[in-house]
Structure 1
């Protein structure tokens, strides 16, 4: 591993990175593993724990690459991508996003790729491979953990589904989680216990989902989710 880092730094590569993850200890671990600029060529210029912090830090620092968790307070990684879209589309010095998540669910992978991320790797990745992935994304490559690449190919090669579900994209990450559990028949108390939130918060999420999708009740919501194979 040390040798690979040395090879990366020997060619003089440098990349400025922002870490976005709601677990402070995980951010500290990534910083310790890859953030030694002299060793890896990676300079961590900012950190954030939720959507609002992420947008503020990314806008202020304009890093080359953002390591982005999928599940974040405030709307998830997809919301960060949506709000930072002008930065990713910049003609000069675009900010590029690499999802780094514990989740390997197809819906999470597709969601952030549709949102504009350049790649998706899981948190089982080694430090050396993560450094390599960051530099590849900086250079404009698309980077995926091997199994996850198949999800993306299948999704965008499919002829029986649209590449973007605008209705689903209106929902925050938490609203999607509540939607799936409702569609699976969970009661509000069960959802609250599973997601570590209050019953009142569950009710608020359900109301928001029904309003955004223009549905009347949980039975219509279940049919809607089943039709999209979300259950």
Structure 2
């Protein structure tokens, strides 16, 4: 940490106004080294600045928070990540924690609580919003004598790609998925193409069958 014990922080969120709000809430209690709005920019800023803590949204353009954590951890395992997201979906939480994040809090957190969470993560603690802690513990305690089951194919998908996969597999059209997730139909199409490529599938029917076999629908 910097002199005076202020954690050095990078903010990663694709909404510039939200980043400005977080920066305002943090005030001078942390030192903000930089900001980023997508995966590639985040990796570049984090690698260049070497923060103590990265405050990270789990849904980003061109990938997700999970991809940022995995990419940075490959070259600098010392960087700690605190996910700050509107989503409290178990699959989002588990994916980013499995990737290496030290905490996960939701965006309704108060400013003082966020500062405390950042300080605790910088000090090495794991921090979760109370409602999230239970199913995180349940997920990782499900098999006490073994690691949690891993699906290599599913793990290569970002959190957003998994959301799109589930909706497409349920029969939603691109427009319906776009409306449900508040993204453009073109972005949905891009995500579906990425999912098909990663899973080595060629049709929506195969995608639906793949999801059904894993009880994802």
Q: TM-score, normalised by structure 1?
A: 0.83
Deviations 1:38-80 (CA, angstroms, capped at 9, x unpaired): xx2x111111111111111101100000000001111010110
List runs of 5+ in structure 1 lacking aligned partners: 1-11
4+ residue runs over 4 A deviation? none
Deviation at 1:216, TM superposition (A): 4.4
Aligned counterparts of 2:108 and 2:178: Cα–Cα separation in 1: 29
Quick one: structure 1 residues 162 and 228, their matched pair in 2 at CA, closer, same or farther if it must change by over 3 Å? farther
Q: 1:117 to 1:223 in 2, by over 3 A?
A: same
Pair 52,128 (structure 1): closer, same or farther in 2 beyond 3 Å: same
* Contact preservation (8 Å) 1:88, 1:96: no
Pick closer, same or farther for the CA change 1:226–1:150 going to 2, 3 Å. Answer: farther
Aligned 8 A contact 1:51 1:72 in 2: yes
Contact 1:155 1:163 in 2 (8 A): no
| 1:121 has 2:108 as partner | no
Provide the C-alpha distance between the structure 1 equivalents of 2:178 and 2:24, rounded to a whole number of angstroms: 35
d(CA) in 2 for partners of 1:88, 1:151: 28
In 2: Cα distance, 1:125 partner to 1:194 partner = 24
Matched, 1:221 2:207: yes
Residue 50 of structure 1, aligned match among 2, 20, 38 = 38
Q: Cα distance 1:26–1:207, how it changes in 2: closer, same or farther (>3 A)?
A: closer
Q: Which residue of 2 aligns with 1:64?
A: 52
Give the conservation status (yes or no) of the 8 Å contact 2:139–2:148. Answer: no
How many residue pairs align between the two structures?
Answer: 212
Unmatched 5+ stretches in structure 2? none
Distance in structure 1 (CA, Å) of the matches to 2:189 and 2:7 = 44
Deviations 1:92-112 (A, max 9, x none): xx1100000111110100010
Whether 2:27 is the aligned partner of 1:35: answer: yes
Task: Give, in angstroms, the shift of residue 153 of structure 1.
Answer: 1.1
